[in-house]
Structure 1
Amino acid sequence: MYRSHKNNALSLDHLNENVVLSGWVQKIRDKGFIIWVDLRDRYGITQLVFDAERTPKSIMDQARELGREFVIKVEGEVIERESKNENIPTGDIEVLVKNLIVLNSSETPPFTIEDDTDGGEDLRMKYRYLDIRRKPVQNKLIFRSKVAMAVRNFLSNQDFVEVETPYLIKSTPEGARDFVVPSRMNAGQFYALPQSPQTFKQLLMVGGLDKYFQIVKCFRDEDLRADRQPEFTQIDCEMTFVDQEDILNTFEGLTKYLLKEINGVEVDEFPRMTYDDAMKTYGNDKPDIRFGMKFGELNEMAQHKDFKIFNEAELVVGIAVPGAASYSRKEIDKLIEWVKRPQIGAKGMVYVKYNEDGSFKSSVDKFYDAEDLKAWAERTNAKPGDLICVLSGSTSETRAQLSALRMELGKRLGLRKPNEFAPLWVVDFPLLEWDEDTQRYHAMHHPFTSPKVGQIPLLATDPGSVKANAYDLVLNGNEIGGGSIRIHDKKTQAMMFDYLGFSEEEAQAQFGFLMNAFKYGAPPHGGIAFGLDRLVAILGGQESIRDFIAFPKNNAGRDVMIDAPAPIDDAQLKELELQLRS
């Protein structure tokens, strides 16, 4: 027997009991005649004591040879501690060791395995198996498991069936780049790893399964950001005989259940906002509505004077920053420098101080009088004491820049509270978006998304105006889920492929299996996919997903622990009939 108790379990109720414990050596304090050792496992820490007067000499000698992260088993008696530790559950007791077995020795780890470690991120990723021993990382992985279990419980109780779909599939040209896998048995041909199980879940609906879900790995060979991984996990769902309202109601239910079950938070309101309104009001399609600072468009009241920058702009737009009229010129200059960084790309920023006494002071007083600035304040909902920040330029770029500034100011002002949750549905996305590089339309979501009811004829006359029967679920400024009602008839799907630039032969070659399935009575269906990594991070009060993934990749898409990706040898290349390295 390796243990009779876990290392968080012992208390004064166990006094004088003989126990068996196992774990890792966390700390050693050697006073010569007495040695204290903190023994750690996933559950907690127990203090061990080796006392020269009460512990056999051979065991004392063994204890002096221990090092950090040695794996040991001890037998001993639970006694009361003289100096109690209120910070741990076992702080009232210690175990007087009578026998010690070293199960495995350890080299000195490259960083301290404690809550506050001295290891940098790169070092900890290289030794991720050691990093996982730290309580903060363990807690995040346990939290992720708890969320996944709650998802399964909810969906199973809603009559969803969990089905696994293939990982080795066919490459398709839509969306991000595929990871491809050469086939040894089919020389010169390749599988692709799925970016999502989209077509398979639609085929399951054709198969009459009615409700499907899967917690599934997906893969995208795309440029990486701090909050994006080449492999990620989705909660993938599909339903038959549903419309948009059915989907939204079902997955509002899931989100409410998770917030209640995981965070103890009751959320009743799931407001809905069109894509167009989200872009106009917040500058992006995943707005954080925990705080205000809504956009105020100022073209009509800012382009009638001699200020050339505004007069030549496609859009002039501002936000009111609460309480920031007290900012010094130095603080405002730092904000201007922030928006001029390459990551944001603004050329500058106009500001207006709406002073507590009702007066105005701006960086454009030469061009605009108090009445003009008062109109700006009304349009941006500014109050006395606020600072109005104004950007201008092309519509899309300016909205993105002001949105970034809004989020940064919300963070600085403490308005983005991690324990506050504000969900939002964004609906009525464009079905198609024009790509200047390829000079053709691309599907904004994917080519299986249905147009809004009654808008199919517009595909022939004004495709850019067609709205998608699609929806995104946003939580605290992050898209946590997105989906659509699907096209379920062959004729409409063929028309969609045509507008996306597929020839009939290309569509048949890429998606013939789906088109053929639609010949045999495909039901109306729709679904949604949640990003589990991001959802878990937000529920856990974090914005970065990396620590909620057991073995994440770095920003270059590398696993520095196992050193992957890596070359393969010439024999493997030859077997796969791939070109040998020179």
Structure 2
Amino acid sequence: MRTHYCGLVDEALIGRTVTLCGWADVARNLGGLCFIDLRDHEGIVQIVAEPADTDGNAEVIAAAAAVGYEDCLRVTGVVRKREAVNAKIRTGRVEVVATKIELLNKAEPLPFHAHENPGEDIRLKYRYLDLRRPEMQQMMRTRIRLVQALRRWLDARGFQDIETPILTKATPEGARDFLVPARMHPGEFYALPQSPQLFKQILMMAGFDRYYQIARCFRDEALRADRQLEFTQLDMEFAWVTERDVQDTVEEMIRVVFREVKGIELADPFPRMTYAEAMRRYGSDKPDLRIALEFTDVAELVKGCEFKVFTDWANHADGRVVALRAPGGAQFSRKQIDDYAAHAAKFGAKGLAWMKIEDAAKGREGINSPIAKFLDDATLAAIVQATGAQTGDAIFFGASTWKVASDFMGALRLKLGKDLGLVANGWAPLWVTDFPMFEWDDEEKRYVALHHPFTAPAVDDEADLRANARIAVSRGYDMVLNGNEIGGGSIRIHRSSMQSAVFDLLGIGAEEAEAKFGFLLDALKYGAPPHGGIAFGIDRIAALMAGTESIRDVIAFPKTTSAQCLMTGAPSPVPEAQLAEVHIRVAERKAE
């Protein structure tokens, strides 16, 4: 239907006849002389319909005058040089003088304009219109280029693209599974995969050595800006490797892909930091290194003070008292401080102590703080010195269990960094390594895996792992970029006895392990090689490249935060006859 794309018409085509297809982005009738900005996915070109007395072009003028916003058109015309150059668009030096304008489909009045940015609910309900917007076209094409670049890099280096099942077995760890009733097996269910984890490990045992897959994954969990029920990840697995083998390979891949897709040069090599150091300095296992703010542990300074919140946690075996300097924070109003306290409360804080250093030279007299009266002069001076606070700064304090204090102060650090304009331009990649093997779940009174239950511990001896489970370190690693975890992986357990020991520590008994993971335990017995891998979040990386904070902007048809597709109306009821075929009956909802 067309000879060229609208956005690719250039000076090389001057004097030639072209046929273009697209939507009317703008239509202007200047008393017989009509202009149409015709848009397709490559961009916009100006169409001109000249007055009838110029060349007898009455039919073209009439068609142009009738064009409405977002009408679907086919235009034939001759390319000529444009008198008034538009440097803002790629085709701004040329225009097309129409000889024929065909209306392919008339657009009814639209719920929003392509150059508007309406509320997200409206955008998602009319997603086909939202995706027409140039901003969305650019974001989606960034994602497309990202996936293309990844595939090129992997294919050129001998990685094998192997599909794994979508209908699989339910797992007892991680988020909730999406279940699919098995019609031919009444009362039994498949699960949609949260990741291809076990299948890619088995591929290593099967001798495929270097695997990858652009995999669709599913998790029935709460949604937010960087999370969806269904998402896409680049899944990779290697046989006969150590941690550094995996890390060095994928680090090179990420550097090449960022350079190719966005012209961005990332550090070479990426800096490295252990989990313990990241939590100690930044209160996060994915610290944003563009923000220079760091914690100062002050438990030793306040152990004997009269402020009970500090002394209780400073003397607690699992307690932490941490300080964070806010440069220029002495200007904060009480309302701003209360807002920061409310933000910290979302992450577990019971309160947020603070000091304003109004004049460091005056000691106690230069400090404005509701807790200063509980601290002696020496302690106040030691805190100011330890944090490096100066006149005009503020200091915030967190006191709680080590993890809770780290979490809410880490969240506060990010907010302060943004509010105070302390986020440096550029890109800050990082490897975080040596994660704990387990976390203790107080509610369930058992250990849970920090990464997943197939991650290898740093020790090779099962008895050593059992005896030191609380402090055991794993062979897990994450790649972080600008405070976002973009990839996570580990060396896997490759011996059946160690896998059974880990299951046991996680509260998965021998009978349950056999029922749910018997195939894996069997496979590990037959010469499974040492192996490891990593998975990268395609949606998250694409969002970073596109400069948006929401992964919904780089997913063609995302769900809302309430897990709905507003365009199709999913999820939706299913007829009883269809449910009966899969042996399902829906229980009646209880009244609110």
**TM-score, with structure 2 as normaliser:** 0.93
Alpha-carbon deviations, 1:457-515, whole Å to 9, x = none? 23332321211111111111111111111111111112222222222221111111111
Contact 1:570–1:581 (CA under 8 A) maintained in structure 2:
no
In 2 relative to 1, CA 378–158 (structure 1 residues): closer, same or farther, beyond 3 Å? farther
**Structure 1 counterpart of 2:158:** 159
Contact 2:297–2:321 (CA under 8 A) maintained in structure 1:
yes
Deviation at 1:335, TM superposition (A): 4.8
Alpha-carbon deviations, 1:413-440, whole Å to 9, x = none? 33334x5111111111111221122211
**Structure 2 counterpart of 1:311:** 311
Q: How many angstroms apart in 1 are the aligned matches of 2:71 and 2:523?
A: 59
In 2 relative to 1, CA 96–221 (structure 1 residues): closer, same or farther, beyond 3 Å? same
In 2 relative to 1, CA 519–266 (structure 1 residues): closer, same or farther, beyond 3 Å? closer
Amino acid at match of 2:42: Y
Contact 1:344–1:404 (CA under 8 A) maintained in structure 2:
no
Q: How does 1:481-492 map to 2 (within 5 A)?
A: 481-492=487-498
Alpha-carbon deviations, 1:500-555, whole Å to 9, x = none? 22222211111111111122211111111111111221233333211011111100
Q: How many angstroms apart in 1 are the aligned matches of 2:30 and 2:271?
A: 63
Contact 2:489–2:532 (CA under 8 A) maintained in structure 1:
yes
Contact 2:357–2:389 (CA under 8 A) maintained in structure 1:
no
Contact 1:533–1:545 (CA under 8 A) maintained in structure 2:
yes
Contact 2:320–2:399 (CA under 8 A) maintained in structure 1:
yes
**Structure 2 counterpart of 1:258:** 257
Q: How does 1:344-423 map to 2 (within 5 A)?
A: 345-353=349-357, 355=359, 360-363=366-369, 364-369=371-376, 371-417=378-424, 420-423=426-429
**Structure 1 counterpart of 2:316:** none
Contact 1:458–1:465 (CA under 8 A) maintained in structure 2:
no
**Structure 1 counterpart of 2:224:** 225
**TM-score, with structure 1 as normaliser:** 0.94
Q: How many angstroms apart in 2 are the aligned matches of 1:199 and 1:328?
A: 51
> Helix, strand or coil: the match of 1:8?
helix
Q: How does 1:509-528 map to 2 (within 5 A)?
A: 509-528=515-534
**Structure 1 counterpart of 2:147:** 148
Deviation at 1:370, TM superposition (A): 5.0
Deviation at 1:243, TM superposition (A): 1.1
Contact 1:275–1:427 (CA under 8 A) maintained in structure 2:
yes
Give the counterpart of 2:506 among 500, 508, 513: 500
**Structure 2 counterpart of 1:98:** 99
Q: How many angstroms apart in 1 are the aligned matches of 2:337 and 2:505?
A: 48
In 2 relative to 1, CA 16–344 (structure 1 residues): closer, same or farther, beyond 3 Å? farther
Q: How does 1:329-348 map to 2 (within 5 A)?
A: 329-330=333-334, 332-339=336-343, 342=346, 345-348=349-352
> Helix, strand or coil: the match of 2:557?
coil
In 2 relative to 1, CA 163–111 (structure 1 residues): closer, same or farther, beyond 3 Å? same
Contact 1:346–1:391 (CA under 8 A) maintained in structure 2:
no
- More displaced, 385-394 or 173-182? 385-394
Contact 2:242–2:532 (CA under 8 A) maintained in structure 1:
yes
Deviation at 1:14, TM superposition (A): 3.4
1:448 aligns with 2:447: no
In 2 relative to 1, CA 258–15 (structure 1 residues): closer, same or farther, beyond 3 Å? closer
> Helix, strand or coil: the match of 1:366?
helix
Contact 2:24–2:72 (CA under 8 A) maintained in structure 1:
yes
In 2 relative to 1, CA 256–455 (structure 1 residues): closer, same or farther, beyond 3 Å? farther
Contact 1:425–1:473 (CA under 8 A) maintained in structure 2:
yes
**Structure 1 counterpart of 2:211:** 212
Amino acid at match of 2:293: M
Amino acid at match of 1:250: T
Amino acid at match of 2:147: A
Q: How many angstroms apart in 1 are the aligned matches of 2:586 and 2:471?
A: 50
Q: How many angstroms apart in 2 are the aligned matches of 1:85 and 1:370?
A: 67
Q: How many angstroms apart in 1 are the aligned matches of 2:21 and 2:349?
A: 56
1:56 aligns with 2:57: yes
**Structure 1 counterpart of 2:286:** 286
Alpha-carbon deviations, 1:100-130, whole Å to 9, x = none? 111122112111012xx14211101001111
User: What runs of 5+ residues in structure 1 fail to find an aligned partner?
Assistant: none
Amino acid at match of 2:242: D
Contact 2:352–2:397 (CA under 8 A) maintained in structure 1:
no
CA RMSD of aligned residues (A): 2.1
Q: How many angstroms apart in 2 are the aligned matches of 1:318 and 1:374?
A: 14
Aligned length: 577
Contact 2:349–2:398 (CA under 8 A) maintained in structure 1:
no
**Structure 2 counterpart of 1:78:** 79
> Helix, strand or coil: the match of 1:261?
helix
> Helix, strand or coil: the match of 2:138?
helix
> Helix, strand or coil: the match of 1:312?
helix
> Helix, strand or coil: the match of 2:149?
helix
Q: How many angstroms apart in 2 are the aligned matches of 1:460 and 1:96?
A: 79
In 2 relative to 1, CA 257–382 (structure 1 residues): closer, same or farther, beyond 3 Å? farther
Alpha-carbon deviations, 1:193-218, whole Å to 9, x = none? 00000110011000011111111010
Of all paired residues, the percent bearing the same amino acid is 43
1:193 aligns with 2:200: no
